[in-house]
Amino acid sequence: MKAHEYNLYKAEDVRLGEKEVAKSLNLEMYTLMERAGQAVFSRILDGFPETHSLLVCCGGGNNGGDGYIVASLAKQAGMTVTLWQVGDPEKLTGDAGRARDAWLELGGEILGPDLQRPLQYDMIVDALLGTGLSGMVREDYASLIDAMNASGAPVLAVDIPSGLCADTGTVLGCVVNAVGTVSFIGLKRGLFTGQAAEHTGEIQFAGLGVDKYFAEQVPAICSLIDTEEISAALSPRSRTAHKGSNGRALCLGGDRGMFGAIRLASEACARTGAGLTRVVTQPENVPAIVGACPELMVYDWRGNSNEINDHLEWADIIAIGPGLGSSSWGRSLLGYSRTAEKPMVADADCLNLLVKTPDFNNKRIITPHPGEAARLLATTVEEVESDRFKAAQRLQHKYGGVVVLKGAGTLVHNGRHCWVCQAGNPGMATGGMGDVLTGVIAGLLAQGLPLPLAARAGGWIHSTAADLCAEEKGERGMLASDLFPYIRKLLN
């Protein structure tokens, strides 16, 4: 991908920006509509070459105009094309009206949706609602969307699946289940997080010949994680490197009965390349952790302040939270860690304790899942998931540092910019995955990566490792520890 193709935008930014770009390049907006229709039609030819019968479903705006262009191109190519218009086609104006007229000049018919019979087509084009949708889907559109989803035919979405919010990735009542989406000029951020993954299918970007100019004129405050940047940050080590030059990480957690979480986090830290990884945990956990990974330096802690201060002084970075619990033991560890003023990754029980004693810390990365995020913001999971970008921004504003809001389309927010991770799969929905992520980020911090880069590199490595694991062995039954060999492979 080119650098600007990682940029993500709100729908309104694209709508306003494309007009300015077209004006500065002396292009008609209708020319961009024609190019959009051609991009969708090319996707049909490339991805679905056996398509002979095509249903194009058009709405009342420019998204519908794009659909008319697709219909015209398909008819000229010899396909059998049926075009359904929701609402009065006579009310189409501007470029959409011009596209309608071009369709009629080819002898095309404009029909109203016929939902009394099964939709028996090789393919369906969704050009209903586009990126301008803000409220819930109206009943007439909802009925057609339900029929499209029930048809069994592959659906290709124009710019965005109808019913999906372009800014948040939430479903507005009902949504088209597309096998693919062709997005134009600037990628919409709602395509990449929240519920979007269930409905977009494969996303293809079509710049329409103006994307470079658009990116220069419209600044992006959100983007996909750039894997080339991560590769550059993980350049080969010096031939004279030693363990002291690769960082000292201190992992705090594992109250009674919860040693597995801190064991996963600390081994992930070591596997990510931290030179030395030290664990502070409850006394009875020491044999099990050492037995599982003897390379870890494991210490028990019974409340002695001098001992914990020595550990904190030794460390370059701190990871705290996995298995920490909420007893006085865990609360004390959190209290001591707060005095260290060193880069920190905070997760799990540490976040639950942070709810009770919140503070602002620009040297910290927090990694909440939606439930933890809801508690940190004193709201509901539904509210968090309704606008994940807003939730991540609120978390960063309240707690400082860098926020990693986990979930489908994990977000990384540093207060100025938001990055979205495309990698990951449902196999990750199992215990211990978050602990491994904590350790991966901690290991990268220990090796000197700045907080925002460690957070997004850690998120991408963790999720991509899960994708590699799923590709080889399947999603179901994946364990957090299964990721270790793939993490190591990616790092190298």
Angstrom CA distances, 347 to 270, 321, 372, stand at 18, 5, 9
Q: Would you state the structure tokens that stand for residue 241, as one six-digit string?
A: 């490197």
Is residue 236's pLDDT more than 90?
A: no
Determine the Cα–Cα distance for residues 21 and 40; give it in Å rounded to an integer: 21
Nearest CA among 327, 334, 388 for reference residue 364? 334
Mean pLDDT, the chain, rounded, equals: 96
Is residue 1's pLDDT more than 80?
A: no
245 — pLDDT class (breaks 50, 70, 90): confident
Is residue 427's pLDDT more than 90?
A: yes
Per-residue model confidence (pLDDT) at position 463: 98
Per-residue model confidence (pLDDT) at position 305: 95
Q: Which DSSP letter does residue 209 get? A: T
Q: Are the beta carbons of 254 and 471 closer than 8 angstroms?
A: no
Is residue 3's pLDDT more than 80?
A: no
The distance of Cα 284 from the centroid of its chain, to the nearest Å, equals 39
List the beta bridge partners of residue 204. Answer: 182
Angle, CA 446 vertex, CA 444 and CA 447 arms, to 5°: 65
Cβ neighbours of residue 253 closer than 8 Å, sequence gap 6 or more: 261, 262, 265, 281, 319, 320, 321, 322, 323, 324, 330, 333, 348, 349, 350
Q: Give the containing element (helix H, strand E) for 42.
A: helix 29-47
Determine the Cα–Cα distance for residues 376 and 398; give it in Å rounded to an integer: 9
Across 385-400, average pLDDT: 98
DSSP string, 442-460: HHHHHTT--HHHHHHHHHH
Across 472-490, average pLDDT: 97
47 — pLDDT class (breaks 50, 70, 90): very high
Cβ neighbours of residue 392 closer than 8 Å, sequence gap 6 or more: 403, 405, 411, 412, 413, 418
Determine the Cα–Cα distance for residues 153 and 309; give it in Å rounded to an integer: 64
Q: Give the containing element (helix H, strand E) for 222.
A: strand 222-224
For 346-361, write each residue's pLDDT tens digit.
999 999 999 999 999 9
Q: Which amino acid is at 278?
A: R
Determine the Cα–Cα distance for residues 198 and 274; give it in Å rounded to an integer: 36
Q: Are the beta carbons of 387 and 168 closer than 8 angstroms?
A: yes
Per-residue model confidence (pLDDT) at position 121: 97
**pTM for the structure as a whole:** 0.95
Per-residue model confidence (pLDDT) at position 292: 93
Dihedral pair phi/psi, residue 78, rounded to 5°: 95, 5
Q: Give the containing element (helix H, strand E) for 328.
A: helix 328-340
Give the strand pairing for 248-252 and 202-206: unpaired
Q: Report the percent of the chain where pLDDT is more than 70.
A: 100
Determine the Cα–Cα distance for residues 182 and 430; give it in Å rounded to an integer: 32
For 15-44, write each residue's pLDDT tens digit.
999 999 999 999 999 999 999 999 999 999
For 284-343, write each residue's pLDDT tens digit.
999 999 999 999 999 999 999 999 999 999 999 999 999 999 999 999 999 999 999 999
235 — pLDDT class (breaks 50, 70, 90): confident
Q: Which amino acid is at 75?
A: K
Across 45-70, average pLDDT: 97
Cβ neighbours of residue 14 closer than 8 Å, sequence gap 6 or more: 131, 184, 185, 186, 188, 214, 218
Q: Which DSSP letter does residue 111 get? A: B
Angle, CA 114 vertex, CA 112 and CA 116 arms, to 5°: 155
Across 396-402, average pLDDT: 98
Q: Report the percent of the chain where pLDDT is more than 90.
A: 95
In the chain, what is the straight-line distance between the N-terminal and C-terminal CA atoms, in Å? 22
Cβ neighbours of residue 281 closer than 8 Å, sequence gap 6 or more: 252, 253, 254, 259, 262, 289, 298, 299, 300, 301, 323
Buried b (16+ CB within 10 A) or exposed e, 183-217: bbbbbbbbbbbbbbbebbbebbbbbbebbebbbee
**C-beta atoms surrounding 311 within 10 Å:** 21
User: Could you give all domains of the chain from N- to C-terminal order, each with its CATH number?
Assistant: 3-220 (3.40.50.10260), 227-491 (3.40.1190.20)
